[in-house]
Amino acid sequence: MFSSYSLLESFRKGCGSLISNYWKEKDLFFESKDSSVFKSDFQSYIEKSKTKKGAVFFAVMRGKLAEGLDLEADTCRAMILIGVPYLAIKSKKTQAKKAFLDSQLGK
């Protein structure tokens, strides 16, 4: 899973041929920004993941695959996080939210 669509696309463009050669035994799927194609892409991934060949799905954290899907048994054997999106703790927005929560929780 990638921290953003731009990081996923950079990976796909920069390493696409390397990944394709390395994983030629697997079917590769990449999450699209376009919601209209996600359902069919993910259904194809589910079907391919249950075959002997298997499949790999590259997705974005907090993207369309993030919540509400049950990835059971052969559908998901492992997950690798690339570019974990940590909060910018020094940003004004984060500081304001922290101050607000502290005031509400009595800290």
Query: pLDDT by residue (tens digit) across 24-78?
Result: 778 888 888 888 888 888 889 888 888 888 888 888 877 776 666 677 777 777 7
Check pLDDT > 70 for residue 21.
yes
* CA end-to-end distance (rounded Å), the chain: 35
Contacts of 18 (CB under 8 A, 6+ apart): none
Q: Write the Ramachandran bin of 63: left for phi over 0, alpha for psi from -120 to 50, otherwise beta.
A: beta
Higher pLDDT among residues 99 and 16, named by residue: 99
Backbone angles phi, psi at 28, to 5 degrees: -105, 135
Q: What pLDDT does 85 receive?
A: 64
29 pairs with which residues across the strands? 57
Residue 49's identity, in one-letter code, is S
Q: Give the C-alpha separation, 107 to 100, whole Å.
A: 10
Distance CA 12, CA 96 (A): 36
Residue 83 has pLDDT above 70, yes or no: no
